Amino acid sequence: MIRYGEGNANVRPIVGISGGEREPYFVSSHSSENSLLTLTNSPAIRFSQPPCSWSINSTAQSISADHYSGIVSVDTGASCPWTATSNASWIFISFGSNSIGSGIVRYDVAANQSTSSRSGTITVAGQTVTISQAGISCSYLVGTTVQNFPANEGLSGTSVITQGDCPWTATSNAPWITITSSANGFGNGGINFSIASNPSSFARTSTISIATQNVTINQSGLSNQIDATSFFVRQHYLDFLNREPDASGLNFWMSEIDNCSPRPQCTELKRINVSAAFFLSIEFQQTGYLVERIYKAAYGDGSGTSTSGSTHQVTIPIIRFTEFLPDTQQIGQGVVVGQSGWETVLEKNKQNFTSQFVQRSRFTNALPTSMTPAQFVDKLNSNAGNVLSSTDRTNAIALFGGATDTSNLTARAQALRQVSENQNLYNAEFNRAFVLMQYFGYLHRNPNDAPDTDYTGFDFWLTKLNQFNGNFVNAEMVKAFITSAEYRQRFGL
């Protein structure tokens, strides 16, 4: 017999099979629900626990895309247990994952990084609470809102900053501005673009539209930018080091020119010295000049015709401008001498470059893997001008570990480096490379490209530089190139 209630009460059971008189039993106030209690005129009665029921204060919640913290209240009996679980990876139970009796559940909803809304649930005390979260509202910023360019052609870019997966599209609003990267994206990203040279003496302005933002592009009219110190120095970083200048380097070289004394007499000499310093710099010697020596060790010399003095054949560096430029950019990628870790970056670049170089078909045709280590090293040495000492030669051969052929790519790359970085080759090739870089760096062409038709100019300047024992100032070589009409016409009239 089960009876629920508080205080004294009468219990009137029915006695008999088909009914009968009710016989009262007096039950005094009793607080235990499970213990036995002897009743008046009755053997015993047990008070059993009532069935549990649960209720929650909310079954649905709609929220914005931002992070959200919420609470669900649970109402139940004092001894009734319940649990709370999340059914979505972006909803977290932060408090009240299990409890007994009435209580609360705290939950956190992660910020929605998508433009799409989403819905998830948590189960509290067996009941479902639906969380509906809106998608993000997109806003946009660009890294630079105004960019200024000289009249000559150029490359640049800008970043795009937005939330989550917000979509954006970039559009050029002028035919002389070309977006060279993908014009579409989602979330944070960026674009690259090119600027055509301005054929007019008048400045021009247009924009690139990116989502809700505009990037204003200002380009000056045609004039000779190279006379400006900042432009002159920056151009040397681009032409010789294949990178934008670091701030400290740019300021240093500008100061060398602008703060010389007495002015203006010192300016011309300072521009010459600063210009030559880029060829002489550690950064170029370990990148561009190394590439020139690698080609010499791999393929030897080229030959050409010169009419300087009389018509005759001259030996010339075999590397061409179209080979030099991408290879120098590869080996110098990320290298800024003076910055922390630059030596590590350079060494890794050298290893990667030479490993790829020895796998090129031109190299394997010139030095097949069927060659013995001695034949391979001797060929490199011969191409380089027999620069190795007997010890150097032995060490290079030993890289192959006693193998009978030279199929070991790592050893081939290491042997090529040992010859290319040999100090004797470095010294012997220095003046030839210096003259070659006048054409590659300043004129962006080969010595026999138009307006030249052969190697007369190259032969003339190499002869003169040798006559002055490498003194480029006395030889007036650098001065001649940086003041030449061909060089200046790269940047204006």
pLDDT tens, position by position, 427-454:
999 999 999 999 999 999 999 999 999 9
CATH no., domain 54-133: 2.60.40.10
Spell 473-487 as b/e; 16+ CB within 10 A means b. eebbbbbbbbeeeeb
pLDDT at 220: 85
Q: Look at the domain 140-223 and name its fold.
A: Immunoglobulin-like (2.60.40)
Q: Is the pLDDT of residue 203 over 70?
A: yes
Question: How far is residue 288's CA from residue 12's CA, in Å, rounded to a whole number?
Answer: 109
Which DSSP symbol is given to 490? T
Q: Is the pLDDT of residue 45 over 70?
A: no
Q: Which of 105, 47, 58, 56 is nearest to 76 (CA)?
A: 56
**pLDDT band for position 196 (cuts 50, 70, 90):** confident
Which DSSP symbol is given to 484? S
**pLDDT band for position 230 (cuts 50, 70, 90):** confident
**pLDDT band for position 7 (cuts 50, 70, 90):** very low
411 against 29, higher pLDDT = 411
As a whole number, mean pLDDT of residues 71-79 equals: 94
**pLDDT band for position 32 (cuts 50, 70, 90):** very low
Q: Is the pLDDT of residue 179 over 50?
A: yes
177: number of Cβ within 10 Å:
20
Q: Is the pLDDT of residue 472 over 50?
A: yes
Identify each DSSP E strand in 150-230 by its residue range. Answer: 154-162, 167-172, 177-179, 184-186, 189-195, 204-210, 213-219
The answer to whether the beta carbons of residues 161 and 182 sit under 8 Å apart is no
Assess whether the region 54-133 and the region 140-223 belong to the same CATH fold.
yes
Question: How far is residue 246's CA from residue 337's CA, in Å, rounded to a whole number?
Answer: 10
- Judged on CB neighbours under 10 Å (0-12, 13-18, 19+), 206 is middle
Question: How far is residue 112's CA from residue 165's CA, in Å, rounded to a whole number?
Answer: 10
Q: What is the pLDDT of residues 287-296, one digit of tens each?
A: 999 999 999 9
Q: What is the pLDDT of residues 303-358, one digit of tens each?
A: 999 999 999 999 999 999 999 999 999 999 999 999 999 999 999 999 999 999 99
Q: What is the pLDDT of residues 109-136, one digit of tens each?
A: 999 988 889 999 999 999 999 999 988 8
Question: How far is residue 160's CA from residue 485's CA, in Å, rounded to a whole number?
Answer: 41
How many residues are given for the chain?
493
The answer to whether the beta carbons of residues 26 and 8 sit under 8 Å apart is yes
pLDDT at 487: 95
Question: How far is residue 208's CA from residue 170's CA, in Å, rounded to a whole number?
Answer: 7
The residue assigned the tokens 């039950």 is: 27
Parse the chain into domains and list their residue ranges: 9-46, 54-133, 140-223, 285-488
DSSP-assigned states of every residue in 410-472: HHHHHHHHHHHT-HHHHHHHHHHHHHHHIIIIII-S-TTSTT--SSHHHHHHHHHHHHTTT-H
Question: How far is residue 339's CA from residue 369's CA, in Å, rounded to a whole number?
Answer: 39
Phi/psi of residue 49, each to 5°?
-65, 135
pLDDT at 295: 98
